[in-house]
């Protein structure tokens, strides 16, 4: 995490032992450990909140995307909704085009 090797840890421990003394060092270690645990819990809470917010944003967007994809498929295949038995696709297109021209 911090890229600290064994030699650096030993040096930090010796300096802490000299500065705080042997009686206060275990208490200091517990305090630092509890502080790190609280920080870890807070970071986890923030991460969960961000994931929840992102899900709240993505869910409506995915339904809109599905609707747009469906409409695009309908645009790409305009004859899919026509149910013309016995006619080929070309005849159905010609019939549809003539209806549209007549409407103009």
Q: Going residue by residue through the chain (104 aa), what tens digit of pLDDT does each one get?
A: 567 788 998 898 899 889 988 889 889 889 999 999 999 999 999 999 999 988 888 877 778 888 888 888 877 776 655 655 555 555 556 655 655 555 55
The sign of the CA dihedral 62, 64, 69, 74 is positive
Residue 99 has a pLDDT of 56
As a whole number of angstroms, the distance between CA 66 and CA 70 comes to 6
As a whole number of angstroms, the distance between CA 64 and CA 66 comes to 5
Residue 50 has a pLDDT of 93
Residue 75 has a pLDDT of 78
SS3 call for 99: helix
As a whole number of angstroms, the distance between CA 44 and CA 51 comes to 10
Q: Cα 76 to the chain's mean position, in Å?
A: 30
Residue 98 has a pLDDT of 59
As a whole number of angstroms, the distance between CA 104 and CA 92 comes to 19
As a whole number of angstroms, the distance between CA 28 and CA 22 comes to 10
Residue 44 has a pLDDT of 95
Tokens at 66, concatenated = 């599905």
């Amino acid at each position: 995490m911090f890229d600290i090797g064994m030699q650096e840890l030993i040096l930090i421990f010796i300096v802490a032992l000299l500065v705080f003394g042997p009686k206060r060092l275990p208490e200091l270690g517990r305090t630092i450990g509890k502080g790190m645990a609280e920080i870890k819990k807070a970071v986890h809470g923030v991460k969960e909140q961000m994931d929840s917010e992102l899900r709240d944003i993505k869910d409506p967007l995915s339904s809109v995307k599905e609707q747009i994809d469906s409409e695009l498929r309908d645009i790409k295949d305009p004859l899919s909704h026509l149910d013309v038995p016995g006619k080929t696709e070309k005849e159905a297109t010609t019939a549809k085009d003539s209806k549209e021209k007549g409407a103009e």
